[in-house]
A and B are shown apart, each in its own frame.
Chain A
C-alpha cells in the first residue's frame, strides 16, 4: 500500500485522506451518478453505528469528513484535532472497510440527490458549466455530470451501490495520505494497522476513448427567465496530461487569460467594464479535456462581449503571444507556485494527484524548469496546434428571447440550440 505523510507541527491539526482511482468515469452508461451516490452513502457511516451516532462521534472528536467524487477519483477526506487522531483514524477505517450502505439511508440519499438537481437550477454558473461540458463532449464520458440526472438516478438501487463498492473500493486499491502534526514513522505504523489489506492503487482512465472536436461554432442558450446578466462559456478541446504541448500551452494560456493583467481581463473588464471576471482555463486529463473562457456580461451586451472574446481568441491563436507577455506569464507561474505547497495538506494533495491521476512526477519536481524553458515558438506552436478558434462551443445562460438573434449573428456560427434551464 502507498502511504504518504507530510509532517508539520505548526498547528495541532491533522488531515487524513483515502484516495481511490475511481470516479464518474466508472459509472455504467445510463447510471450516471452511481460513483457519487456510492461515496455519499459511505459517508453516512459504518456498520454498527446509526447515522446519528456516527455524526455525533465525528463532531465530538472535533473532526469533519467529506467524500468528494470527481471524474477520475474518489477522495475520502477527514480533518481532526491532533489529540483525537487515533479514534478518528479507526472510525475512518470503518467507513472504508465496513460501510453500512443501508437501504433506508440510500432511499433518503437518493431523494436528496434528486432534490439537489432541482435546486441547482438557482445557480446560473453551474448551469452554464454543466451545459458547456455536455455540448463539448457529447456522448463521451467526459460529458457526464458527476451527480447524474433525474433518469439515471431513478435507475440506481442500493444493490448497484453495493456492487460498485465491492468492485471498486472494497478490494483496497487506494492510497492513504496524512498531513499535519504527525511523526512519519509512527503514522506509517498506525495506518498499516488500520488498513492492512490495502494494495497499490491501479491507475484508471487510460481506456477512455479519445475526445473529438466538434467542427464549427455552435451556440447553446440555456434559457432562464428574467436574466439581467448572463453567464458565458466559450471553449474547445485543450490538451492531454501527457501532451508534449502541455507546458507550452499552460504558459501561453496564462499569458492570454490566466491573470488579471492578461489581454482577456484587460479588454473585457479593464477597458470596457463588461464583466466582473474574465478568465481562461486549461484542463487536462488522460484524453484532451476542455479549454474555455468564462465571463459574466450584462444581457444587453452579452453578444458584443462574446464577439470581443472571439476576436481576442483569434488574435491570440493566429498572432501568437509576445515575448514580453510570455516572460511575464512564466514569472507569474514560477513565483506563485509556492502557494501550491504552503500547507501540509496542499503538499499531500499534490503527491496524491501524481499517484492517482497519472501525472508525471517531473511535473511537480521540475515544475519551475518546465515552465521556464518554454520558448515563444513552442508556446505559439502549441496554441495553434491545440486551440481551434473555428471549432467552438459557445454556451450562454440568459433569457433566450433577449439574446438569441444577436448570438446567431456571431461570426462562423453553424447552429444555435435553446435548452430550458429546468431540464434535469
Chain B
C-alpha cells in the first residue's frame, strides 16, 4: 500500500518554501500570513498568493467531503441607480461558458463529481461555493479559477439569465408578501446608502442590462485581489495549495477592484410609516430600526437583546404575542449582518382580526421595559447558551465551516473572528443590553411597514 501524503507539512514556513521552490512569477508565490486555533480539533491557516488572492484552510477529517468557497467583495452596494441587480445577475452568469468550457459544462462536471455547486449574492458580497466528495477538489479548483479569469459573456446567455432573474424576482418579491415588504422597508429606511435598493434589483433595471454592462462589471470586480478562497474539510493542504498556485498563479491583480466608499446614511430623526396592501389573509408589521454594523462593538449586545426579545419559545415577545395575548401567530427579529450600519428587523405576524395598533403598543412597552430594566441573569444565560448552540450547529459540516469563515473574512475583515464571537457574547452584561436598546431601539430611528389585507 502506498504511503499517504501528510495532510500538511507541519510548520507552514516549510510548506511555503516547498510550494515556492522554483516559482519565479511574483503572482504565483505564496506567503503564509498566520494561523488561529479553535479548540484542539480545528486550526484556520491564512495564506496569500502574490496576486493578492487570500486562501484560508481548515482541515476536518470527520467526513470524506470538502467545501470550496470563493467570496468576492462585491455586492449590490457596489452598483449604481439604474444598474441595480447587476451583482446578482452576474452571479447567475458565472455558471455560463468560459474560454475553456462550453455552456453547461460547469454544472455537468460538478454534478458528475457529486458536487453541489451554488452561489449567493447580498449587499456586501457574492459567494460561490461547492460541497463535494473530497476527491473532487482538483476539479473545483480548476473550474473556479477558470471562471474567475476566462468567463465568456454572450447575448443569448445574458438574455436567458435576465429572464430567469425576472422570474426569481416575481417568486421572491412581487408575489411574496415578505419579500415585497422588505423591499419597501429598505427603500424607505435608507435615503442615500446603496442598501436602499434590493440585491435582486428593480425589475426595469434587470430588463435593461446589456452584455457590455456585464463585461465591465466582470473586469472591475472579478480578480484575485478582490476574493478570498476558503477550503474546509478532508483534503491534503499541500496538494490543494499547489493546485491553487497552478490555476490562479497566472492571474494578475486588478488595479480598480477597490470600490468607492458609499455615501454615509444621514441620521433618521423621525419615524417613517408606510402601508402595503396585498392579497394576504392576515395583517403584519415589519419594523426596521437603524442598527450598527456587524463589526461594531455594540452589535453583540444588540444580538443578545434580539435573543431576549425574539429568541425561541421562551423569549419575551413570543410569550407575550403568541401565548399570553394570542395576538400573533409568530414574531421574529434579526440584525442585518452588513459591513455598514443596517437594520434591526422585527416581524409581527398578526392573527386574523387582530389590530396592528395593539401589537405596536405591546412592542413599544416591551422594548421600553428592556431598556429600563435590562435582561435577567436567566435571560442572559439562555441567550448565550442558545447562541453557542447555533454557532456549533453552523460548524457541523465542511460547508458550514467554510461559510462562516468566508462570511467573517468578507464582512468583518477576519475569518478567524468567527471563533471569537462567542467570547464577545459571553462578555455582554445586562447593563450593555440596556444601553444598546435605549440607544438604537427608539421610535424616531425606525421605519414601519404596515401590511394590510386587500379591502381592509
**Chain A residues engaging chain B, CB cutoff 8 angstroms:** 8, 10-13, 51-52, 55-56, 58-64, 79-81, 84, 108, 111-112, 115-116, 118-119, 121-122, 124, 224-229, 259-261, 266, 269-276, 296-298, 328, 331-332, 334-339, 341-343, 345, 422
Contact = CB atoms under 8 A, between A and B. Distances in A.
Contact of B314 (A52, A108, A119, A261): A52
A334 B114 contact: yes
Given A56-B382, A229-B170, 8 more contacts: A10-B60, A13-B392, A58-B313, A60-B378, A64-B386, A112-B322, A275-B167, A336-B114
A261 B378 contact: no
Contact of B167 (A224, A261, A270, A297): A297
22 contacts: A12-B392, A59-B385, A60-B378, A60-B385, A61-B385, A79-B389, A80-B389, A111-B326, A118-B281, A118-B351, A119-B329, A122-B177, A229-B175, A259-B107, A260-B107, A270-B160, A272-B160, A273-B162, A273-B166, A298-B167, A332-B114, A335-B133
B272 to A, nearest CB: 24
B167 A119 contact: no
Contacts of A122: 177, 280-282
B314 A269 contact: no
Interface string B370-394: 0000000010011001101100110
The 10 closest A-B pairs by CB, nearest first: A335-B114, A273-B163, A62-B385, A229-B170, A55-B314, A336-B114, A342-B63, A59-B382, A273-B160, A59-B314
Contacts of B174: 228-229
B84 interface: no
**Central interface residue in B175, B278, B382, by most chain A CB within 10 Å:** B175
Contact of B41 (A10, A51, A229): A10
A266 B104 CA distance: 9
B271 interface: no
Nearest to A13: B392
B108 to A, nearest CB: 4
Contacts of B23: none
A403 B112 CA distance: 38
A225 B454 contact: yes
Contacts of B281: 118-119, 121-122, 422
B279 interface: yes
A342 B398 contact: yes
Contact of A337 (B114, B161, B280, B313): B114
The listed residue with most B CB atoms (<10 A of its CB), out of A56, A260, A271, A332, is A260
B64 interface: yes
Contacts, number: 173
A229 B385 contact: no
Contacts of B112: 328, 331-332, 335
Interface centre among B62, B282, B392 (most CB of A within 10 A): B392
Interface string B383-427: 001101100110111100000000000000000000000000000
Contacts of B395: 11
B446 to A, nearest CB: 24
Contact of A62 (B116, B161, B389): B389
Contacts of B313: 55, 58-59
Interface string B124-143: 00000001010010000000
B201 to A, nearest CB: 15
A226 B279 contact: yes
Contacts of A116: 329
Contacts of A261: 104, 107-108, 111
Contact of B62 (A10, A80, A270): A10
B352 interface: yes
B282 A119 contact: yes
Nearest to A224: B279
A60 B160 CA distance: 51
A17 B163 CA distance: 44
Contacts of B114: 331-332, 334-339
B108 A115 contact: no
Contacts of A51: 323
Nearest to A116: B329
B164 interface: yes
A8 B386 CA distance: 21
Given A115-B352, A422-B281, A64 B314 contact: no
Interface in B249-285: 278-282
Interface string B77-105: 00000000000000000000000000010
B312 A342 contact: no
A296 B169 CA distance: 11
B385 A341 contact: no
Contacts of A259: 107, 111
Contacts of B171: 229, 276, 296
Contacts of A272: 160, 163
Nearest to A332: B111
Contacts of A332: 111-112, 114
A62 B157 CA distance: 48
A300 to B, nearest CB: 10
Given A62-B386, A331-B112, A338 B396 contact: no
A122 B329 CA distance: 13
A115 B329 contact: yes
A24 B163 CA distance: 41
Nearest to B351: A115
B239 interface: no
Nearest to A295: B167
A8 B392 CA distance: 13
Given A56-B382, A63-B389, A229-B170, A11 B352 contact: no
Contacts of A52: 314, 319
Contact of B349 (A11, A119, A296): A119
A211 to B, nearest CB: 31
Nearest to A105: B323
Contact of B388 (A81, A273, A338): A81
A61 B378 CA distance: 11
A13 B279 contact: no
Contacts of A331: 112-114
B246 to A, nearest CB: 24
A124 B112 CA distance: 33
Interface in B313-357: 313-314, 319, 322-323, 326, 329, 349, 351-352
A229 B171 CA distance: 7
Nearest to B398: A342
B389 A328 contact: no
B230 to A, nearest CB: 17
B136 A58 contact: no
A59 B164 contact: no
B263 to A, nearest CB: 32
A274 B163 contact: yes
A198 B112 CA distance: 45
Contacts of B159: 273
A331 B174 CA distance: 38
Most A C-beta atoms less than 10 A away, residue of B115, B279, B326, B398: B279
Contact of A79 (B175, B177, B393): B393
Given A261-B107, A331-B114, A228 B352 contact: no
B131 A112 contact: no
Greatest chain B CB density within 10 A among A12, A13, A266, A274 is at A13
B312 A55 contact: yes
A343 B278 CA distance: 42
Nearest to B103: A270
B397 A342 contact: yes
A408 B454 CA distance: 29
A334 B113 CA distance: 9
A297 B163 CA distance: 10
A272 to B, nearest CB: 7
